[in-house]
């Protein structure tokens, strides 16, 4: 990635690091190398590590370093294996539901774990950009706000009530600390819903290239069309396309600018 950015600075002005999260000391070392030596302006994490959740205490140093040492953002991409059946009695998955719906679901589950484990309480300056504009949170914000305000009411013991007491803010406020990207398959209506939830300062452009039927151009074109059809002010439009990303990466300009 660093080499591509050096060779084609106009097309690839900046990159973020990929980390070996199954080995936390190695991840911290690679983070240091990528950011301080190669110029990465953030890191990507996947919503689970060999099936383990991101709020596992072993992974805390990674988020702590991104927040406190480097003050750079984390891009979170979902993953759910295609091997998991959707119904317990079945031998295999069907119809690629594991990816089309399962991936955004995993994003939302990972966000929930970061909120309720206290990760965002401990690292209030941590900036996490969620793929597919926040997974399920924007569309289910009313449900999330009202049901999680009663966390513990569906649980057999006091453990979840104590979780709620351990947080200093209502749960929904932590979910709004995340950022969303604009990747919603070109649906302007969904993007409007995502913007209403996160606010225009917490959404950044992304393309999801090349995962579309045209193998690249369609999601870029339709993503741009969805943003441009919302009737945003020039200022807000500029935030989505560039300004918010620059601020997240603490850069004043990018490329030729």
Which of 15, 17, 46 is closest to 29 using CA atoms?
Answer: 17
CB nearer to its own copies: give 192 or 247: 192
Beta carbon of residue 184, minimum distance to its own copies (angstroms, whole number): 5
The span from the CA of 104 to the CA of 87, in Å, is 18
Residues 199-228: x/- map of binding to its own copies (CB under 8 A)? ------------xxx----xx--x---x--
CB nearer to its own copies: give 15 or 197: 197
DSSP state, 53? E
Q: Please state, in angstroms and as integers, the Cα–Cα distance from residue 29 to each residue in 14, 18, 20, 100, 167, following that order.
A: 20, 12, 10, 34, 32
Do 182 and 134 touch, CB atoms closer than 8 A?
Answer: no
Residues 33-72: x/- map of binding to its own copies (CB under 8 A)? ---------------x--xxx-------------------
Sign of the dihedral through C-alpha 244, 249, 251, 256: negative
Beta carbon of residue 127, minimum distance to its own copies (angstroms, whole number): 22
> Which residue reads 């990674």 in tokens?
62
Q: Which residues bind its own copies (CB under 8 A)?
A: 48, 51-53, 82, 86-90, 94-97, 99-101, 104-105, 108-109, 112-113, 116, 132, 136, 138-152, 154-155, 160, 163, 184-187, 189-190, 192-194, 196-197, 211-213, 218-219, 222, 226
């Amino acid at each position: 990635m660093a080499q591509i950015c050096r060779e084609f600075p106009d097309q690839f002005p900046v990159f973020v690091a990929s980390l070996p999260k199954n080995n936390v000391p190695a991840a911290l070392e690679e983070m240091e190398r990528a950011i301080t030596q190669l110029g990465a302006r953030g890191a990507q994490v996947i919503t689970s590590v060999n099936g383990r959740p991101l709020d596992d205490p072993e992974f805390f140093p990674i988020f702590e370093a991104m927040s406190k040492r480097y003050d750079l953002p984390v891009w979170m991409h979902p993953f759910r294996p295609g091997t998991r059946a959707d119904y317990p009695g079945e031998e295999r998955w069907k119809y690629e539901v594991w990816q089309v719906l399962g991936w955004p679901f995993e994003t939302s589950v990972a966000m929930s774990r970061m909120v309720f484990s206290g990760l965002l309480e401990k690292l209030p300056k941590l900036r996490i950009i969620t793929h597919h504009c926040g997974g399920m949170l924007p569309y289910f914000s009313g449900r999330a706000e009202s049901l999680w305000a009663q966390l513990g009411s569906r649980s057999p013991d006091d453990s979840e009530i104590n979780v709620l007491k351990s947080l200093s803010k209502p749960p929904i406020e932590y979910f709004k600390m995340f950022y969303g990207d604009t990747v919603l398959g070109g649906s302007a209506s969904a993007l409007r819903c995502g913007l209403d939830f996160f606010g225009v300062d917490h959404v950044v452009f992304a393309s999801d290239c090349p995962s579309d039927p045209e193998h690249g151009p369609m999601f870029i074109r339709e993503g741009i069309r969805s943003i441009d059809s919302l009737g945003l002010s020039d200022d807000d439009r500029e935030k989505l396309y560039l300004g918010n990303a620059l601020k997240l990466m603490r850069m004043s300009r990018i490329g030729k600018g």
